[in-house]
Structure 1
Amino acid sequence: MMLGSVLNPVNSSVLSVSLVPIGAAFGAPPAQTAWLVSALYLATSIGQPVVGRLIDLFGPRRLFLVGTALTGVAGVVGMLAPNLGVLIAARVLLGFGTCSGYPAAMYLIRSEARRTGQESPTGVLTALAVTTQTVAVIGPSLGGLLIGVGGWRATLAVNIPLALVGLYLGARRLPVTPPAPRTEDRHPLAALDLPGMGLFAAALVCLLLFLMEPGAAQWYLPVLTVLASAAFARRELRTPQPFIDLRVLSGNLPLLATYARSLLAYIVSYAFLYGYTQWLEEGRGLSASQAGLVQLPLFATALVVSTLTGRRQAIRAKLLVGSVGQLAACALLLTLTDASPVWMLLAVVFVLGVPQGLNGLALQNSVFHQADPERMGSSAGLLRTFGYLGAIVASAASGALFGQRADTGGLHHLSWLMLAVSALFLAVTVADRSLRGLGAGQGEPVPERTREDQT
């Protein structure tokens, strides 16, 4: 579960130090290499809830194995890519391949919680949060090491052995769960809302394409987004087996607020991950390996924070402290210059490590308690979708504010954006009364809730 869940965030972050070498190899500016980031998130944003719904219906094992195999294929294609276009295609393939790990893990944790009667398996949730949120921070350091050993192509090739290990462990260790039973003499495949999935994908593609290159010339993309969204809502409200049950979701305002916080948190986290790393290389003049080493304390701090606070529920307190930590880190970014000493570079990283260790853990635990247990896979996938939507916004902002070169002026402009988003994250958290006491019933039996109960 942990290995499958970490494939996507590690591939997201390991690219941060290889954007500059890839751009140099193919003669592409940051505005073009930003598509390597956006391509992964575009595929993942669509694939996560779709695969999550398939996991809800058919169990996690088969979807996990198929996705992991696709990840290995993407590693081969990326390693051999002759140009930027093929490399972008490999990243799309990688995005779809890594979609299954996290929804499968959340599905299994919820099913085990119901089987054992343990409402809050905080130890397992903490371990999962460390792999999905915190370990991702080691990506820049891992990327710098791989580039130093085998060039930027090694950052794609690393998926091949990871996929092989994932296939072996998945086949040997993941339990065989029975698929959804037949209802009214219908095969479980009949429960797939393919038109709903298609409309969801169309709306999301149009929205994300606009976010990646906003401008008056792309006016038609927001229009198509609205039309596809309206058709999607109409379809989901009328079909008996919707892809995303809008009737239940619209009545679950706490879960919607959690998705909004995920969007905001990822904007800040990934704007820092990509923007700060590129500035370290081009604005501050560090090598890819040195930039990766500077980011390493972020992983260490986040790991310590997640481990120390993981078994404490206190979801609201974690989000409040995390939002304040984001504000402090963004303010420190505004003080940096081309000649800033190394200790200042590390100070920013240490401060951001605190919210990195708190926010992901709190958001994951929120979904665990707020989502319909029968749709845990798709709900967990939607959490990732909103997070990666934020990552795409961050990538687009970095490309727009840096332009042809990641200089200090661009970093400061990006920092002001991150500061505003962090303030909004804090405001949404303070205003959300549903967070008080959320998850406090640790150790209580899990109630058997049906669709009618949720509605």
Structure 2
Amino acid sequence: MSAGRGTRAATSPLIPPAATGTAGPATPAKSAGSASPAPGRPGFGGRLTAPLLIGSLVNPLNTTMISTALVAIGHSYHVGAAGTAWLISVLYLTSAVAQPVLGKLADSIGPRRVFVAGLVVVLVSGLVGAFALSFTWLLVSRLLLGIGSAAAYPASMSILRHEGIRVGRTPPRPVLARLSFAAVGSTAVGPTLGGVLVMLVGWRGIFAVNVPVALIALVTALRWIPADRPRALAADGSRPKTDIDPLGIGLFSTALTLLAFFLLDLAHPNWWLLLPFVVVGAVLIRWQLRNPKPFIDLRVLVSNGALTRTYLRHGLGYLLVYCVMYGLTQWLEEVRGFSSGETGLLMLPMSVAALACSLLGARTKGIRGPLTLACLLLTVGSVVLVFLSGDSPLVLLLLAGACFGIPQGLIGTSNQAAVAQFSPAESIGSAAGLQRTAQYIGAITASSMIALAYGQAATDAGLHLMAWIAAGLGVLLIGLTLTDRALRTPQTH
């Protein structure tokens, strides 16, 4: 069944459901420890969403918060810039791999269990980093942080979908927008918060702050998130097996890691990495096609075009956003001569626009309109970058930032709503995890594109090259959005 024919495409699962013994998505089901909603009670209350929001901000907050601590960490352990950069890369790599894996686990063994377990790992990572005696232990801390924080988003999406089943309605756009707002907002305030922590308590505060945040989210999750429904017994009275497909997960993780390492340095590509990537990818495809209960059902992935195109749009959109978030800021400091604080102030309109539009996008009933506007602005913003130079007026710099800030909010909210609409209830965690994987691949590719364009230092010519590539990708995004017939189907609430 093609996903391009309305919402019926959502009935084809991207990742086959685990043997949970629960009713299908059309049947409202009770969560263990929760009662049926009282008449007039809409569900999705503040107590349910509060721990989800706190848990979901940990990963994006830590992607940017450490940026202001890299120099201090390098001085403490006598590590250069290339070495401290691994503190950023290891979080992206781990998160890209862990998101769909933990999403699968959330679908299989219960989202509340995975959400809580992830917070425990985040707590441990904060302690390891705060008391690290060597740079290696900091890398271990970031590795654990990537694994633990990656559980929050896919598990949250699964929890919200289960709540929707319980109350007989789909998760409202404003509720989904809060998750997007938490991610965008925490990303925006990360550098500022990191700078304050380094100034007040030193760089170890960057790691230690995750401990109280994880504790608050953990306590509220245990109190307010309904317990996972117990899985029904099999016909012979035994407990059903959990279909995890460890070989599929291992092959997927290996292939994605090889691809990420290749993308990390396109300026000096390690071509030899492509051979093991192709081999592992071929083995993965063969295993997934032969396995009756694969980690990723490739046949259905092909047939559910609406969801596949959502991943593509999300990855390309954030590739362009990250190019500006990191590429333009580097150009502002190295070419225009602005300080880090001045650059942060210049990028503030971009952050404010992203925050505002993540909330405004939630008020729209459709997906196609906000996404089209976002793609148009990404393209316009890319063209504006082409005309920037060392003596460009300040208003043009602010305009460029706003052209990328507005799409950042709209893309996050709209594609998140598309994932919720086009993925089936029993595999929403896996689908949401793959959405974040697409975003992190976009981030890794953006960093490589920036390095390829700039070389040793940012220049006007490098910025213009990056802008032309971004403009071409923006036109591609416009085409993908306007020609997607599935986006013409209004959301149901």
TM range (shorter): 0.7 to 0.9
Q: 247, 254, 275: which one pairs with 1:223?
A: 275
Judge conservation of contact 2:318–2:408 (CA < 8 Å) in 1. no
In the alignment, what sits opposite 2:404?
352
CA 352–78 in structure 1, closer or farther in 2 if over 3 Å, else same: same
- Bigger CA drift: 387-396 or 144-153? 144-153
Judge conservation of contact 2:184–2:355 (CA < 8 Å) in 1. no
- Tell whether 2:316 aligns with 1:264: yes
Equivalent residue letter for 1:250: V
Equivalent residue letter for 1:162: V
In the alignment, what sits opposite 1:453?
none
- Tell whether 2:261 aligns with 1:209: yes
Deviation digits for residues 141-166 of structure 1 (CA, Å, limit 9, x no counterpart)? 33344344445444333322212222
CA distance in 2, matches of 1:78, 1:396: 27
CA distance in 2, matches of 1:164, 1:282: 40
CA distance in 2, matches of 1:430, 1:391: 24
* TM-fit CA distance, 1:122: 1.8
- Percent of matched pairs sharing the same residue: 39
* TM-fit CA distance, 1:385: 0.7
Equivalent residue letter for 2:480: V
Which runs of structure 2 are paired with 1:293-312 in the superposition (5 Å)? 293-312=345-364
CA distance in 1, matches of 2:201, 2:376: 39
SS at match of 1:405: coil
Structure number having the greater helix percentage = 1
Deviation digits for residues 271-305 of structure 1 (CA, Å, limit 9, x no counterpart)? 22222233334443334333333333223222222
Deviation digits for residues 373-425 of structure 1 (CA, Å, limit 9, x no counterpart)? 11010010000111111111112223333344344444333333322322222
In the alignment, what sits opposite 1:159?
210
CA distance in 1, matches of 2:465, 2:135: 28
Q: 94, 97, 109: which one pairs with 1:43?
A: 94
CA distance in 1, matches of 2:208, 2:290: 45
- Bigger CA drift: 31-40 or 157-166? 31-40
CA 272–87 in structure 1, closer or farther in 2 if over 3 Å, else same: farther
Deviation digits for residues 12-57 of structure 1 (CA, Å, limit 9, x no counterpart)? 233445556656775534x554433321111011100110011101
In the alignment, what sits opposite 1:432?
484
Equivalent residue letter for 2:99: Q
CA 16–409 in structure 1, closer or farther in 2 if over 3 Å, else same: farther
CA distance in 2, matches of 1:84, 1:330: 38
Judge conservation of contact 2:262–2:269 (CA < 8 Å) in 1. no
Bigger-Rg structure (1/2): 2
- Bigger CA drift: 206-215 or 53-62? 206-215
Gaps of 5+ in 1: 443-455
Judge conservation of contact 1:34–1:396 (CA < 8 Å) in 2. no
- Bigger CA drift: 91-100 or 396-405? 396-405
- Tell whether 2:418 aligns with 1:366: yes
CA 333–145 in structure 1, closer or farther in 2 if over 3 Å, else same: farther
CA 425–83 in structure 1, closer or farther in 2 if over 3 Å, else same: farther
Judge conservation of contact 2:323–2:446 (CA < 8 Å) in 1. yes
| Count, aligned residues | 440
TM (norm. structure 1) is: 0.88
Q: 243, 251, 254: which one pairs with 1:199?
A: 251
In the alignment, what sits opposite 2:53?
2
Which runs of structure 2 are paired with 1:392-407 in the superposition (5 Å)? 392-407=444-459
- Tell whether 2:164 aligns with 1:113: yes
Judge conservation of contact 1:74–1:91 (CA < 8 Å) in 2. yes
In the alignment, what sits opposite 1:449?
none
Judge conservation of contact 2:266–2:451 (CA < 8 Å) in 1. no
Judge conservation of contact 2:450–2:466 (CA < 8 Å) in 1. yes
In the alignment, what sits opposite 1:98?
149
* TM-fit CA distance, 1:213: 2.5
CA 176–426 in structure 1, closer or farther in 2 if over 3 Å, else same: same
CA 106–336 in structure 1, closer or farther in 2 if over 3 Å, else same: same
Equivalent residue letter for 1:211: L
Deviation digits for residues 72-111 of structure 1 (CA, Å, limit 9, x no counterpart)? 3323333455665544443222211111110111001111
CA 247–318 in structure 1, closer or farther in 2 if over 3 Å, else same: same
Judge conservation of contact 2:106–2:114 (CA < 8 Å) in 1. yes
CA distance in 1, matches of 2:105, 2:458: 41
In the alignment, what sits opposite 1:321?
373
In the alignment, what sits opposite 1:418?
470
- Tell whether 2:129 aligns with 1:78: yes
CA distance in 2, matches of 1:153, 1:334: 40
* TM-fit CA distance, 1:359: 0.7
Equivalent residue letter for 1:329: G
* TM-fit CA distance, 1:221: 1.6
- Tell whether 2:181 aligns with 1:130: yes
SS at match of 2:150: coil
Judge conservation of contact 1:193–1:243 (CA < 8 Å) in 2. yes
Equivalent residue letter for 2:53: M
- Tell whether 2:428 aligns with 1:376: yes
Judge conservation of contact 2:361–2:414 (CA < 8 Å) in 1. no
TM (norm. structure 2) is: 0.82
